[in-house]
Amino acid sequence: MTESPSRSGAFESEVDQRVEAFTESISFDARLFREDIAGSIAHANMLSDQQLISPGERDQIIEGLVNILAELESGEFSFRPELEDIHMNIEQALIDRLGDVGRKLHTGRSRNDQVSTDMRLWIRGCIDRVDGLLAGLQKSFVQLAISEGEVVIPAYTHLQRAQPVLAAHYFLAYCEKLERDRLRLRDCRLRVNQSSLGTAALAGTSLDIDRAHTAKQLGFEGLVENSLDSSSDRDYMLEFVFCLSLISVHLSSWAEDWIIWSTTEFSMIQIPHEFCTGSSIMPQKINPDVLELTRGKAARVIGDLQTLLVLVKGLPMAYNRDLQEDKLPLFDAADTVENCLEIAIPLVAGSRLNRDNIAAGLDRGFLDATTLMEFLIKRGIPQRKAHHAIGELVRQATRQNCRLSDLSLEDFQAFDPSLDASIYDVLGIENALSAFRSLGSTSPKRVASQIGTWRERLEIS
């Protein structure tokens, strides 16, 4: 029987097969094989340079690892559940081929620092992929702002019509949200990209290893300085999943908007039919299922974060086997967000506003009321007095079933006799939109400038 690298001679009996099935993680951590082999190759190079193994032994180990990598990538590698995890499966395969030379690879390290290193490498790669997808989604929103941006749409608070905005202003709002998501990921990456390799089980090692050597080979920016901390903590992982949770919240908010916009009642947007599904009984239905699932999957990612927080909240220093359970929620959160982003990019790119329907309904809801109030403020009327007056005028227009711009000059002069026909210069959707001035507003000039900024930032021609 082949020896188990994780089971020393201290045991008086073989492990129960039920325990093997209960403790295995190869069914889900096999996806770490590239990171595990990269860490092992770096470790072998360091051991050779530190004269802990010979150059010839290093070469044999690296050649063996490269061959194992090829088998893993081709699907020819046979995993053995009794070896518990990806680390032991790869190491035992190396021992089976090289004997004692293969047994030397684990010199100066433990599975504790090995798995932390693997996870940091994997998360680093995932951060870079998600960042690229976020940039792709930003580009889709900018392109939509360019093609549909001059359309004026109603903006809502409390899901009630509030003020008119350019559609481009709305689309660029998501670019801002996604940019903060990208900044959080970049900041998280700094803490992820610290090497755990060489901190061993919990206390370090008495062997003369060079941790900086392996860190440099693997592209880490620094070292985890305390071996106990390295073995015990997963805060870098929790931070990453927190970032994923916020991305999911932003995607869910966007999906909710467009689900509402696509209804017959709103009819503001046309979602590409290739991203919709039908009904098994109602032949007329074109359902925004992709958006609904995006909204729903946000709950999974938030749940994954909750799982990780509860998992680590009560663990004593240092490593505990509970941490084996960190990978499932991590992988699920990352896979879910990547999948949502991958499908959101073409969905946004292919969507179009229902311009005629939007324009036909713009006069509803007194979208120019706030601009009219600010017109009065500019004439020296206190804000609270102006606010109350416009409320009365809205009530009057509602009784007459007309727009504010349809009220007579006498109606306005009943509030303030000094008002003249210039008041109509701020009434109506186009006038209200043109009145905006402030930085960050929906002013056409401000929005055009922002589109230019985003095109330059995202390198959109």
Catalytic residues: 158, 279
Amino acid residing at 333: A
Per-residue tokens: 387: 């606010």
**Which is nearest to 295 in space by CA: 259, 268, 266?**
259
Burial label, 202 (beta-carbon count in 10 A; 0-12, 13-18, 19+): middle
Say if CB 43 and CB 197 are below 8 A apart: yes
Expressed in percent and rounded to 5, the helix, strand and coil fractions of the chain are 65, 5, 30
Give 357's contacts (C-beta < 8 A, 6+ positions apart).
Answer: 267, 268
Give the DSSP H or E segment for 164: strand 160-166
The Cα 211–Cα 177 span in angstroms is 38
* Neighbour count for residue 188 (Cβ, 10 Å): 22
Per-residue tokens: 349: 């790119």
Q: What SS3 state is found at 157?
A: strand
* DSSP sequence for 85-154: SHHHHHHHHHHHHHTHHHHTTTTT--HHHHHHHHHHHHHHHHHHHHHHHHHHHHHHHHHHHHHHTT-EEE
Residue whose entry in the numeric block shows the structure tokens 């100066």? 108
Q: Which residues, listed in sequence order, are joined to residue 164 by a DSSP beta bridge? A: 154
Q: What SS3 state is found at 222?
A: strand
For 30, 272, 273, 454, the CA distances from 344, given in Å and listed in that order, are 29, 11, 14, 19
* DSSP sequence for 337-382: HHHHHHHHHHHHHH-EE-HHHHHHHTTTT-TTHHHHHHHHHHTT--
Say if CB 291 and CB 340 are below 8 A apart: no
